[in-house]
């Protein structure tokens, strides 16, 4: 599909973005903002939020919607949690989001590194901490390791409707992802549970509403939905540009089901306005 609509056009101050990139590079850290080509890179830096990608820059899965490179990753760096905490402190980040490539080559999928990063940030700063984890192949011991580090939010993305998994993320499983969300909701030790999905891959409205119901049925607290944007000609094409009005309709529907906070707009991504969503959810729980 050619010709992005006007509501998907963005501009931002590159000086603020360069400051984040410069510090990340100096500490040998990856940001998902850059690696995934996120369109909100300028806006989040102004809101005191930053999203860091741990465990290297090469993913062991080859999802056809994602711009993160697939390849053979190196062994985890034991000093990465310390450097990550240092970056969060130097940037003055109030809400830190930590995500990763998928590491199916590791016995625990990288769960212990996530836990070490959360503890390091907690020890060095007063920032709230959100983790966005892969499915760890459904390993409950790995999920428990992350929970034990006490993040404020634990996210795992369903990404799209089940019919499109074979085309968009063939190495993942919709029911397994729902199982991860359900387990975290039941065993998360107070952490809010979050997920995200994309629109514009060819899903129907009925499928989208079913997905929202499925996710809420796991006990998930927070939901983000955004427009899929094709990173290159080698990725899945955009089937539809969903209007802001339709996103608003899905947001109203999700809130009616009991989600504590919902962000649904074309440029929204997993960690978009993450700190604001956490604050909104906490206020509702008071």
Q: Exposure pattern of 109-134 as b/e (b: 16+ CB <10 Å)?
A: bbbbbbbbbbbbbbebbebbbbbbbb
Domain count, the chain: 1
Q: Which residues contact 105 (CB under 8 A, 6 or more apart)?
A: 60, 72, 73
Q: Tell me if the pTM is above 0.85.
A: yes
Q: Which pLDDT value is given to residue 132?
A: 97
Residue 5 included in any domain: no
pLDDT tens digits along 153-192: 999 999 999 999 999 999 999 999 999 999 999 999 999 9
Q: Which pLDDT value is given to residue 148?
A: 98
How do strand 30-31 and strand 49-54 relate by DSSP bridges?
Answer: antiparallel
CATH number for the domain harbouring residue 15: 3.20.20.70
Q: Which pLDDT value is given to residue 234?
A: 80
State the Cα–Cα distance between residues 63 and 263, nearest whole angstrom: 23
8 Å CB contact between 178 and 214: yes
Residue 103 included in any domain: yes
Give me the torsion for CA of 171, 185, 31, 275, rounded to 10°. 150
8 Å CB contact between 254 and 221: no
Residue 188 included in any domain: yes
Residue 66 phi, psi dihedral angles, 5° rounding:
-100, 140
> Domain residues for 131?
10-285
Rg of the Cα trace of the chain?
A: 18
Residue 1 included in any domain: no
Q: Which residues contact 233 (CB under 8 A, 6 or more apart)?
A: none
Residue 120 included in any domain: yes
Along the 286 residues of the chain, how does pLDDT read in single tens digits?
667 898 887 666 655 566 666 766 777 777 665 544 555 555 555 555 688 999 998 898 888 788 787 889 999 999 999 999 999 999 888 999 999 999 999 999 999 999 999 999 999 999 999 999 999 999 999 999 999 999 999 999 999 999 999 999 999 999 999 999 999 999 999 999 999 999 999 999 999 999 999 999 999 999 999 999 988 788 889 999 999 999 999 999 999 999 999 999 999 988 888 999 999 999 987 6
8 Å CB contact between 194 and 221: yes
Residue 4 included in any domain: no
Taking the mean position of all CA atoms in its chain, how far away is CA 185?
17
């Amino acid at each position: 599909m050619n010709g992005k609509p006007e509501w998907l056009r963005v501009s931002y101050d590159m000086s603020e973005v360069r400051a984040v990139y410069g510090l990340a590079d100096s500490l040998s850290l990856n940001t998902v903002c850059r690696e995934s080509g996120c369109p909100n890179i300028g806006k989040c830096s102004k809101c005191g939020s930053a999203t860091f990608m741990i465990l290297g820059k090469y993913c062991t899965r080859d999802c056809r919607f994602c711009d993160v490179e697939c390849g053979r990753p190196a062994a985890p760096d034991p000093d990465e949690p310390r450097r990550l905490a240092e970056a969060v402190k130097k940037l003055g980040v109030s809400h830190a989001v930590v995500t990763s490539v998928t590491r199916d080559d590791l016995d625990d999928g990288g769960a212990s590194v996530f836990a070490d990063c959360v503890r390091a940030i907690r020890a060095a700063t007063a920032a709230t901490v959100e983790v966005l984890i892969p499915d760890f192949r459904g390993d409950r011991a790995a999920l428990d390791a992350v929970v034990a580090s006490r993040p404020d939010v634990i996210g795992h993305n369903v990404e799209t409707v089940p019919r499109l998994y074979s085309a968009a993320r063939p190495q993942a499983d919709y029911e397994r992802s729902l199982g991860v969300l359900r387990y975290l909701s039941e065993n998360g030790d107070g952490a809010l549970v979050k997920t995200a999905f994309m629109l514009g891959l060819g899903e129907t409205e009925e499928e989208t509403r079913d997905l929202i119901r499925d996710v809420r049925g796991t006990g998930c607290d927070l939901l983000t939905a955004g427009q899929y944007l094709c990173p290159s000609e080698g990725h899945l094409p955009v089937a539809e540009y969903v209007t802001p009005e339709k996103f608003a309709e899905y947001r109203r529907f999700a809130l009616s089901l009991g989600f504590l906070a919902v962000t649904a707009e074309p440029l929204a991504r997993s960690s978009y306005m993450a700190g604001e969503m956490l604050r909104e959810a906490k206020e509702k729980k008071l």
